[in-house]
């Protein structure tokens, strides 16, 4: 079983994360931000990655630090659980329709963090959460996980649907990319023999 735990403590947040990449999509999430909890539950359920997140942050200021640091910690836990990334499929992609919305997510577990974010919102908040923070979460996750991540909302009107389709798209792409490829053996999926560094 590919598992890992990460603890991240700063003056702004105190976060613990545990993941099991070969789980069944079970989750126990408590960040203090209701909408973020809902999105992380979607990430777990649709990637089939077991996910436990406990976060305490300076929510009396705003949600930025908790959102960003949660993304970093989850990404780092995924990276640790992947180890040297030998045998994985490496790439994953998903197109997620959600009522009037459609979002495409493409992912490379390359150990080279990069985010392309083509998502626009028509409202500044969803519940109490600033919509601009979703980009911060995806950027932090990509950085922590060592993932090249492209997220494009093709169209949509409902901001809740747009965000949720992004997380579900990440989940499905991540599920593909971190799966063990039965034809790949135990080799790293790169002609360099290692993932990361230059192309």
pLDDT in tens, 15-55: 999 999 999 999 999 999 999 999 999 999 999 999 999 99
190: confidence class by pLDDT, cuts 50, 70, 90? low
Beta-bridge mates of residue 45: none
State the pTM of this model.
0.93
Calpha distance 78→74 (Å, rounded): 6
1: confidence class by pLDDT, cuts 50, 70, 90? confident
What pLDDT does residue 191 have? 47
**Which is more confidently placed, 182 or 102?**
102
Look at residue 184 and tell me whether its pLDDT is greater than 90: no
* 90-106 pLDDT per residue, tens: 999 999 999 999 999 99
Give the percent of the chain with pLDDT over 90. 87
Q: Is 151 left (phi over 0), alpha (psi -120 to 50) or beta?
A: beta
Contact 104, 169 (CB under 8 A): yes
166: confidence class by pLDDT, cuts 50, 70, 90? very high
Calpha distance 117→105 (Å, rounded): 10
**Which is more confidently placed, 197 or 16?**
16
Calpha distance 40→49 (Å, rounded): 11
183: confidence class by pLDDT, cuts 50, 70, 90? confident
- The alpha carbon torsion through 69, 64, 92, 193 (nearest 10 deg) reads -40
Q: Nearest 5°: phi and psi at 21? A: -65, -20
Residue-by-residue DSSP string for 47-64: HT-EEEEEEEE-TTT-SH
Q: Nearest 5°: phi and psi at 193? A: 85, 0
Length of the chain measured in residues: 199
CATH class assigned to 3-178: alpha beta
Provide mean pLDDT across the span 136-152.
98
Look at residue 186 and tell me whether its pLDDT is greater than 90: no
Could you tell me which residues come within 8 angstroms of residue 120 by beta carbon, excluding any fewer than 6 positions away? 153
Our CA angle for 84, 181, 88, nearest 5°, is 25
């Amino acid at each position: 079983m590919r598992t890992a735990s990460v603890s991240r403590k700063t003056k702004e947040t105190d976060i613990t994360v545990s993941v099991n990449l070969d789980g069944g999509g079970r989750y126990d999430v408590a960040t203090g931000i209701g909408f973020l909890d809902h999105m992380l539950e979607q990430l777990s359920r649709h990637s089939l990655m077991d996910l436990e997140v406990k976060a305490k942050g300076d929510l009396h200021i705003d949600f930025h630090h908790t959102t960003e640091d949660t993304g970093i910690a989850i990404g780092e836990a995924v990276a640790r659980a992947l180890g040297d990334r030998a045998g994985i499929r490496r790439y994953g992609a998903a197109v997620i329709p959600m009522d009037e919305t459609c979002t495409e997510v493409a992912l490379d577990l390359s150990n080279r963090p990069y985010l392309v974010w083509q998502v626009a919102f028509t409202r500044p908040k969803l519940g109490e959460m600033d919509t601009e923070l979703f980009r911060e979460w995806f950027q932090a996750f990509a950085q922590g996980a060592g993932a090249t991540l492209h997220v494009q909302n093709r169209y949509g009107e409902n901001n809740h649907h747009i965000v949720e389709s992004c997380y579900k798209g990440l989940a499905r792409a991540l599920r593909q990319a971190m799966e063990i490829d039965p034809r790949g053996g135990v080799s790293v999926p790169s002609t360099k023999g290692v993932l990361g560094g230059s192309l």
